[in-house]
Structure 1
Amino acid sequence: MKITSVDVMALEQDPDSKNRPIICRVNTDEGIYGYGEAAIAIGTGANAAYELIKDLAPMIIGRDPFDNEVIWEKLFKSSFWAQGNGAIELSAISAIDIALWDIKGKALNLPLYKLLGGKQRESLRCYASQIQFGWATETFNPLKAPSGAPEFYAQAARKAVDQGYTAVKANFMRFDENGDMLSHEAATGYLSKKMMTLVEERMKAVRDEVGYDIDLIVENHAMTDAATGLQIAKLCEKYDVMFLEEPTMPLNPKVFEKIQHQTSVPLATGERSYTRWGFQPFIDNQSLTVIQPDIGNCGGLTEAKKICDMAHIYDLSVQMHVCSSPLSVAISLHLETAIPNFMIHEHHITNTTPFNIAQCRYDYQPVDGYITAPDLPGIGQEISDEALSKARIETIS
């Protein structure tokens, strides 16, 4: 089997969330193809990832898709800039790598969790992610919350719990009392007493509504500096938080180590860390309890499995970061099913919206707070005909 061409796709942008999934389809001479995604749909970078896949595609034409390790090493070394752990470069490599695994699974008529060693568990516990936007809504705007009131957070948590979730995650710091996103100046340094009071009122409202049998995860999106991150961590201790995600930006692992030494709340990060080399400092200094690699930007499935295995040596738990199309959801489910150190699956609000669901053929949603990996060959997910008809597609051969 040989790779004959690569189709690079920019799916239609969600008019509300502004997500822009970048997909590649690797085709072979035996008619088997595989899909992969560059998980750079939010923020800036989608156009760059699209062009980078085009740049990398000629390097894999004519190669055997089963040689994923050989191809990964070639892309990583030959692309020059990837060795600096750049997010856009690694997201393009990730998309191609994921597509190769999809081809392997389809060729062998096996779901990917089988190729990864089998099921460690039959189903995956999920948490409802980003309830600051509400829950069970048709759309969401990442730059504006429907409300900033503590009662709104409590109501969103209640909706998720009523659907069977036993864990929820919210960013209690992102929006002010009117639901407007805090400015950079307002979110760094020590938070104002007014804002800290509002953050605590929101946490308390959620706890009062759903109790302490429900796990509460606090998201920070690295929007604050270390001083503020420690403030938030201390507040999390009071409300028995499961873990605090991205208390500050992950560029300096020593800062995470400093925060962790001053709080009992477990810390997590990973969606903006790439390859084994990017995760190694966090693993070595034991500043994290939970690692959160994104298969669509950390280097693909080939690299994500190695990162998870490294973490397992130090008894660290894994929660894959999932915030892209349903294709990324499916690939994450396979790895989380197969690894021994899985903690919990992130079910992001974007994966509940009709627009995002329509991007792919199959709709994998939790039932009573649990979800299972697809049993179809390969990833078990395909881009829908509707999404393909609206996508911008270029073929490299």
Structure 2
Amino acid sequence: MKENIRQIIAKFKEEDRLAAKAREEEAKSPVTKNERRSFLKKTALGGLSLGAMMYASIEDTVAETTSKVNRYSNPSDLKITDMRVAVLRNVGRTPIIRIDTNQGIYGLGEVRDGADERYALMLKSRILGLNPCNVEQLWKIINQFGGHGRLGGGVCAVEMALWDLCGKAYGVPAWQLLGGRYRDKVRLYADTPGFDDPAEFAKVMRERTVDQGFTWLKMDLGIHVVADEKDSLVNSQFWGGAKGQYDTRDYMSYGSTLHPFTQVQITDKGLEGLSQYVESVRNAVGYEIPLCADHFGHFDVNNSIRFARAMEKYRLAWLEDMVPWFYTDQWRTVSDAVETPTCTGEDIYMLKGFKPLIDARAVDIVHPDLGTSGGLLETKKIGDYAEEHGVAMAMHMAGSPVCFMANVHCAAATQNFLALEHHSVDTPWWEDLVKMTGSQPMVDKGFANVPLDAPGLGIELNDDVMKEHLHPEAPGYFEPTPDWDRRRSWDRTWS
């Protein structure tokens, strides 16, 4: 075979020399048009040309002709060999998982903020030895171990890592594996921290909109804003002032009690105080920028309607999580009673959890958190189903850049997408946790760049920065996890 190739090379040496001379003479000719001249120059400089290959060694010729082939992996022979974890001190607690393979490539995923890395580690024995590129097959093996809220974190982390692996194996971005992209940039929304000093607040708003370039904002607009004002709330002191929305240590605490069962109410004075607060925000940011609201507190559907109607003149982009997501009928009651769009979904697991809300037209916007909702493909399915019913999709995200970039790929591939949350705008080291493997920065003026020239999620970890921000209660960095290798249960849920 080598002798045949040498004969072909010898045969075309002289022809190639003459062709190269002819190209050179044509390029120098005054009658040659500029476009043609430019083309001839590019063919001469565009890498190892056919002519150059005729003079090259056998080894160089083979290397050049296969230079675009991904020899780093053979996707059909990929096997999962390990899962390891590193826990960040980010938004409380954020575990990052790494799924390794027999070919040296690995995938990154993230267990949702505030969740336990063991939600993911217990899945390791279910996927060892399997091909990570069969994402949907593996998803059907593990999704029974997920659930609403943080219980979905482990399954979603694995799903993210599988798409990262699959993209790297085939040399394409994750959005391409989801069916292609609708956009090159993903619009972000950022929180707007409140300040009592109007001048300080205006300064922060200018930084958000002018310096950082955000075109969509979100604020916390709860009863905590007026809780200390006399006669603003009813029955709040029984619940410790109704400020402990996230204190769930006690089963009967305010944070653990469903909204309809607290009997906390808002007075007209309280609504007036909240209106003044929103007006000050609108005065600072204007009306061109969408402004949505969250964290209202645990009060019932009646107070939700009173609250929403008092806010209508400020044209908020949405009112989020006013009652628990599983009260479909109550959401429909609120949505039908107010003009401001309603929104929920950050705690819902899988499309089947969203279907009752969408089918009943109970909310105007679904708001999945990809770290709970099922990962990239399931969240795209949620968006697609919502689109069929005329419902838009925004995306909740309060994690590290790993989950953030998984969201970016999903948002790029979903048509009815509105905006993605960026929860760590003011954390200086947040973006440095990873390195972008493509040519663009992660975030640019309020928009995330969709990776166009990088495989998988388009990131690699920055080990030094990661190690600086490990959670003190989990200091190890991707240590071996042999205790999770063995499967000890019969998982089938049917007979």
Same fold by TM-score greater than 0.5? yes
Which one of 173, 180, 191 corresponds to residue 111 of structure 1? 173
Which one of 158, 161, 170 corresponds to residue 219 of structure 2? 170
- 1:372 corresponding residue in structure 2: 449
Query: RMSD over aligned Cα, in angstroms?
Result: 2.6
RCO comparison, higher one (Cα < 8 Å, 6+): 1
Greater displacement, 177-186 / 302-311: 177-186
Which one of 124, 130, 138 corresponds to residue 186 of structure 2? 124
Alignment of 1:348-387 (within 5 A): 348=423, 350-362=424-436, 366-375=443-452, 376-387=454-465
Deviation per CA, 1:176-200: give whole Å up to 9, x if none: 3699983567996322344322211
Distance 1:223 1:381 in 2: 39
- 2:382 corresponding residue in structure 1: 307
Alignment of 1:327-366 (within 5 A): 327-348=402-423, 350-362=424-436, 366=443
- 2:93 corresponding residue in structure 1: 20
Residues 22/257 of structure 1: CA separation in 2 closer, same or farther (3 Å cut): same
Distance 2:332 2:165 in 1: 40
Deviation per CA, 1:256-311: give whole Å up to 9, x if none: 11100100111111111111111111111111121111111111113212211211
Distance 1:336 1:277 in 2: 20
- Considering only CA atoms, is the larger Rg found in Structure 1 or Structure 2? 2
Residues 169/278 of structure 1: CA separation in 2 closer, same or farther (3 Å cut): same
- Please tell me whether residue 95 in structure 1 is matched to residue 145 in structure 2: no
- 1:182 corresponding residue in structure 2: 243
Deviation per CA, 1:78-119: give whole Å up to 9, x if none: x4xx4xx34343210110111000001111111111112222
Which one of 258, 283, 299 corresponds to residue 358 of structure 2? 283
Confirm or deny: 8 A CA contact 2:223 2:297 kept in the other structure.
Answer: no
Distance 2:393 2:327 in 1: 20
Task: Give the share of equivalent positions with the same residue, in percent.
Answer: 28
- 1:395 corresponding residue in structure 2: 480
- Please tell me whether residue 30 in structure 1 is matched to residue 103 in structure 2: yes
Distance 2:407 2:176 in 1: 14
3-state DSSP class of the match of 1:296? helix
Alignment of 1:196-207 (within 5 A): 196-207=271-282
Residues 131/224 of structure 1: CA separation in 2 closer, same or farther (3 Å cut): farther
Confirm or deny: 8 A CA contact 1:150 1:202 kept in the other structure.
Answer: no
Confirm or deny: 8 A CA contact 1:101 1:378 kept in the other structure.
Answer: yes
Confirm or deny: 8 A CA contact 1:318 1:343 kept in the other structure.
Answer: yes
Confirm or deny: 8 A CA contact 1:325 1:351 kept in the other structure.
Answer: no
- 1:140 corresponding residue in structure 2: none
* Paired AA for residue 80 in structure 2: I
3-state DSSP class of the match of 1:99? helix
* Paired AA for residue 288 in structure 1: V
* Paired AA for residue 172 in structure 1: L
- 1:57 corresponding residue in structure 2: 124
Residues 263/335 of structure 1: CA separation in 2 closer, same or farther (3 Å cut): same
Which one of 248, 260, 282 corresponds to residue 323 of structure 2? 248
Residues 217/166 of structure 1: CA separation in 2 closer, same or farther (3 Å cut): same
Distance 1:225 1:153 in 2: 31
- 1:5 corresponding residue in structure 2: 82
- Please tell me whether residue 220 in structure 1 is matched to residue 295 in structure 2: yes
Distance 2:307 2:204 in 1: 21
Deviation per CA, 1:43-98: give whole Å up to 9, x if none: xxx2xx31122211110000000111111111124x4xx4xx34343210110111
Greater displacement, 184-193 / 328-337: 184-193
- 1:323 corresponding residue in structure 2: 398
- Please tell me whether residue 160 in structure 1 is matched to residue 208 in structure 2: yes
* Paired AA for residue 55 in structure 1: M
Confirm or deny: 8 A CA contact 1:220 1:244 kept in the other structure.
Answer: no
* Paired AA for residue 95 in structure 2: I
1:394 Cα deviation after fit? 4.1
* Paired AA for residue 286 in structure 2: G
> What's the TM-score, normalizing by structure 2?
0.69
